[in-house]
Structure 1
Amino acid sequence: MADGAEMSTWRVEVEQWFDEAKAVGPVRPSKRGGPSLTRRAFLLAGSMCVCCQPGLASADAPMVKRQAPGFYRLTLGDFEVTSLSDGTNMLPARKLLQGNPTRLEEMLKRNYLGDLVETSHNSFLVNTGAKLILVDAGAGSLLGPGTGHLLDNLRASGYQPEQVDEIYLTHLHADHIGGLMAEGQRAFPNAIMRVDKREVEFWLSDANMRAAPEEAKRFFQAATISITPYQRAGKLIVFEGNTALVAGVRAQTAYGHTPGHTMYMVESGGEKLLLWGDVVHVAAIQFEDPTVTIRYDVNPSEAEHVHELAFAQAAGNGYMIGGAHISFPGLGHVRRDGATTYTYVPLNYSFG
């Protein structure tokens, strides 16, 4: 920091320079090509301009309190895959997760998670060059203001709902189908919808809805509201089990979470991405302990088997996975850490 004598010298130089400028008009170049001003005086003059105008240096800026548009794009062989965020909501972990309570509590604490865990809702848009395919459609208006942002993020990513050719649903829970409808109309008017036959028969059954516990009836109601308009328009196509749907995309059974829960393998140019749907709900817990299921698994033992098989295959084969409820964008790999434990490795971020 300059002492008092040096500061006084700088101030005198600056004052002299301003006096000269007033007397002779615009500053003329020196023989060296620059203004006749010492470097110290020039720097001081600049700092004085800022310091003497506090409004310029400390302008109040309101907090924005929102994130950037929720889409993330990657290339998979000759395909383009875009992860689309429908938003997030809070899950009560202690009620949702089914496992040893003491161990669950320890894992939550170790991963800096409390009882309420914020979960992502991700959908995936696959552009094969011939088809534009949406895998899952978000919650729409069914889960409150934290979700329902799929259409906005689809448009922000450069696409329009009318461009979607096909919709593949992993299952018919509300957070995957609510976005199929918008203001009482089909949100994707030109798309056909593909779903496993077992899934459709279970959730669109009036008999099953009547027999369901009261808290589960809303799942059946959501399926009816979201799927029936496509069915009536002749847009619903069911498939059975492991099935090739279009070139480069194949359905793979993952029954357990729901009766017809399905994963979708996307493959191009030797690269693979398996879109998991609801194989994982709380990544910090279930990768470490695949035996942990959730309250809404229709068949918990089958769901547990799917966890173990999906984790082992992803780790063993090294292909990428996409999770509906893994933190956005929900893309990464699985690493085996022990005989029965795994770690999720998020995809390394790429700007473009």
Structure 2
Amino acid sequence: MSFPRMRLLAAALLLAAGPALATTTHHPQAQVPGVYHQQVGELEVTALFDGTVALGRTELVGIAPGAVTRLLDHRYVPEDGKGLQTAVNAYLVQRGDHLTLVDTGTAGCFGPGLGQVLGNLRKAGYDPAEVDDVLLTHAHPDHLCGLLDAQDRIAYPNATVWLSEADAAYWLDPASEAGAPQGVRFAFALARKAVAPYVASGSLRRFSPGQALPQGVTALDSHGHTPGHVSWKLDGGNGQSLLVWGDIVHFHAVQFAQPQAAFDADSDRTAAIASRRTMMAQAADQDWWVAGAHLPFPGLGHVRREGDAFAWVPGEYAPLPTR
């Protein structure tokens, strides 16, 4: 089963109706539809926009403020008093009849303007009950809160949810919460709440390196941002692969050019920097497609080397192949 024409027609109608759907509100509205399709070999990838968060320049560490200013100059990253606009994306990957969702967005955990993944998945023509596997890069709220819907019910009733053993052992354990930095303690209860119905139904799979995973899927260790952060490589056949790398990058205008610039929220900054360099190098050398949770929507493209650093190459818009 490929993208049915009715899905594309629905998206086209939503685009055409955009201005008519506008409403007066104090909160910014998503630009319909918040969906983008990309073919990667045999994989049909749908980028799903969740919304944006603001990250402050001061949350970049290991780099001089002046260097940050120079890198941001003429990059036109929207910025206000709260910080730099940063996208939150999730990715639905279809192979034949099998649907895999990588990360789930924020749901109601981060307030207005976010939590759009589930709605955008439906606008793309999919029923959440069709999703077979949910692959979590890590257990932060902007990646797993969307396991629940707006009424705190299970959002993907027929899916198996995959979370690394290292992240599960840390984020789902109240003992870890007691010893965690004050600024991240809020995330522990959110993680336990999000996975609770999947644990109860036996649908949560805690995996370790080398354990069997869904066909065509490889979990690459990219810990550092969290203890068990993984990046998911999906084999598209025909020599093509998709790397959904989670939180390897938060500040795209800075961290490609200066991979040693860490994010204040990284649990292990040294490991996070090493993982960033490794994932960027592999993506560049292997010509993998990359999908980034915090790259400008749709967050799909490639990485190229630039001396000892790297650069982001956004994917070119293209229609889907005729079937």
1:229 aligns with 2:193: no
Contact 1:91 1:118 in 2 (8 A): yes
* TM-superposed deviation, 1:266: 0.8
- Given candidates 39, 47, 68, the residue that maps to 1:75 is 39
Give the Cα–Cα distance (whole angstroms) in 1 for the partners of residues 287 and 211 of structure 2: 22
- Given candidates 308, 312, 315, the residue that maps to 2:284 is 315
Q: What one-letter code is carried by the residue in structure 2 that aligns with 1:343?
A: A
SS at match of 1:278: coil
* TM-superposed deviation, 1:63: 10
Q: What one-letter code is carried by the residue in structure 1 that aligns with 2:233?
A: M
Give the Cα–Cα distance (whole angstroms) in 1 for the partners of residues 114 and 236 of structure 2: 31
- Given candidates 230, 247, 268, the residue that maps to 2:215 is 247
Q: State TM-score, norm by structure 2.
A: 0.86
Count, aligned residues? 291
Contact 1:242 1:253 in 2 (8 A): no
SS at match of 1:345: strand
Q: What one-letter code is carried by the residue in structure 2 that aligns with 1:295?
A: D
* TM-superposed deviation, 1:93: 2.2
* TM-superposed deviation, 1:66: 4.9
SS at match of 1:75: strand
Aligned to 2:12: none
- Given candidates 233, 243, 249, the residue that maps to 1:280 is 249
* TM-superposed deviation, 1:244: 4.9
Contact 1:244 1:251 in 2 (8 A): no
Give the Cα–Cα distance (whole angstroms) in 1 for the partners of residues 281 and 253 of structure 2: 17
Give the Cα–Cα distance (whole angstroms) in 2 for the partners of residues 137 and 131 of structure 1: 17
- Give the unaligned 5+ runs of structure 2: 1-18, 23-28
Q: How does 1:8-19 map to 2 (within 5 A)?
A: none
Matched-pair identity in %: 38
Contact 2:121 2:128 in 1 (8 A): yes
Give the Cα–Cα distance (whole angstroms) in 2 for the partners of residues 136 and 63 of structure 1: 28
Contact 1:98 1:295 in 2 (8 A): no
Contact 2:60 2:261 in 1 (8 A): no
- Given candidates 183, 202, 210, the residue that maps to 2:170 is 202
Q: Which moved more, 1:102-111 or 1:283-292?
A: 102-111
* TM-superposed deviation, 1:288: 0.4
Higher fraction of helix:
1
Aligned to 1:169: 136
Give the Cα–Cα distance (whole angstroms) in 1 for the partners of residues 119 and 153 of structure 2: 16
Aligned to 2:123: 156
Q: State TM-score, norm by structure 1.
A: 0.79
Give the Cα–Cα distance (whole angstroms) in 2 for the partners of residues 253 and 206 of structure 1: 24
1:216 aligns with 2:184: yes
Aligned to 2:316: 348
Aligned to 2:73: 109
Give the Cα–Cα distance (whole angstroms) in 1 for the partners of residues 137 and 312 of structure 2: 21
* TM-superposed deviation, 1:243: 4.7
* TM-superposed deviation, 1:285: 0.5
Give the Cα–Cα distance (whole angstroms) in 2 for the partners of residues 330 and 291 of structure 1: 21
* TM-superposed deviation, 1:286: 0.3
Q: What one-letter code is carried by the residue in structure 1 that aligns with 2:58?
A: R
SS at match of 2:213: strand
- Larger RCO (CA under 8 A, 6+ residues apart): 2
* TM-superposed deviation, 1:282: 1.1
1:334 aligns with 2:303: yes
Aligned to 1:95: 59
Give the Cα–Cα distance (whole angstroms) in 2 for the partners of residues 309 and 78 of structure 1: 26
Task: Compare CA radii of gyration and give the structure with the larger one.
Answer: 1
Contact 2:35 2:120 in 1 (8 A): yes
C-alpha distance after superposition, 1:287-343 (max 9, x if no partner): 0000011011000000000111111111111111110000011100011111x2211
- Give the unaligned 5+ runs of structure 1: 1-60
* TM-superposed deviation, 1:78: 2.1
Give the Cα–Cα distance (whole angstroms) in 1 for the partners of residues 20 and 99 of structure 2: 39
